[in-house]
Amino acid sequence: MDRRVIERLKEAFALDLYETVRAARQVRGEKVFRHTLYEDGQAVFCGFYPKAELLEFPGVDEEFISRLSTFNLLGVITDGVTRLDLFLLAGRNKPFTAAESHKDIAKLLREPELARFLDAYFKLRDVCLDIYTMTLEQFMDAVSDEVARNTPIAELQRVDMLMGEKGE
């Protein structure tokens, strides 16, 4: 895997998660919160859980429990009935709401688990990104193609307009 690809993914993922963390700060006493990536028959989300909450999950094995921190970030893919895939993306001994920036979260992300989670997410969404074999240049080209393919024309025109304003 190109180091630059995983670093770019970590940065973007942490930026996205940090917005959820900032919003969760406004709700005092909330122990569990989530950041939804996708819901349509299958749900893909990241959940922020204290270890005590995870110990109550049915069927969680000892090996998984042994890797938990006081506070944990899990990637979850589920159909709500039979499938439940858990990815331990990060852990820390203080709440994630104490993170001062996205960089605090990015430092905690476990690269192998993040790569497996995002790879599964991309496959579920039929996104053509093979993060394991692409160079950064190939990855960025593929991301651009996916954005163009999945973004309405009006939105693309708005982005082009904004980018044109920034370039002047």
39-76 pLDDT, tens digit per residue, is 778 888 998 999 999 998 877 889 999 999 999 999 99
Residue 125 and residue 61 share a domain: yes
pLDDT at 80: 78
Residue 100 and residue 83 share a domain: yes
Residue 117 and residue 59 share a domain: yes
Choose from 72-81, 88-97, 122-131, 141-150 the range with maximum mean pLDDT. 88-97
Give the list of residues 6+ apart from residue 122 with CB closer than 8 angstroms, or none: 129, 131
Give the residue-averaged pLDDT of 150-166: 62
Residue 90 and residue 50 share a domain: yes
Residue 151 and residue 121 share a domain: no
Residue 75 token pair: 């990637």
Residue 156 and residue 91 share a domain: no
Residue 140 and residue 120 share a domain: no
Instruction: Assess whether pLDDT exceeds 80 at residue 159.
Output: no
Q: Residue 5 — φ and ψ, nearest 5°?
A: -70, -50
Structural domains of the chain, count: 2
Residue 131 and residue 118 in contact, taking contact as beta carbons nearer than 8 Å:
yes
Residue 99 and residue 44 share a domain: yes
Residue 48 and residue 23 share a domain: yes
The number of C-alpha atoms within 13 Å of 50 and in the hemisphere containing its C-beta is 9
Residue 54 and residue 95 share a domain: yes
* Helix/strand/coil for 88: strand
Residue 38 and residue 124 in contact, taking contact as beta carbons nearer than 8 Å:
yes
Question: Nearest 5 degrees, angle CA 122-CA 146-CA 150?
Answer: 100
Q: Which domain holds residue 16?
A: 3-132
pLDDT at 116: 95
Residue 168 and residue 105 share a domain: no
Reference 64, options 5, 12, 113; nearest CA is 113
Residue 91 token pair: 């852990």
Residue 20 and residue 67 share a domain: yes
Strands (E) across the chain are located at 33-39, 43-50, 71-78, 84-92
Give the residue-averaged pLDDT of 130-137: 94
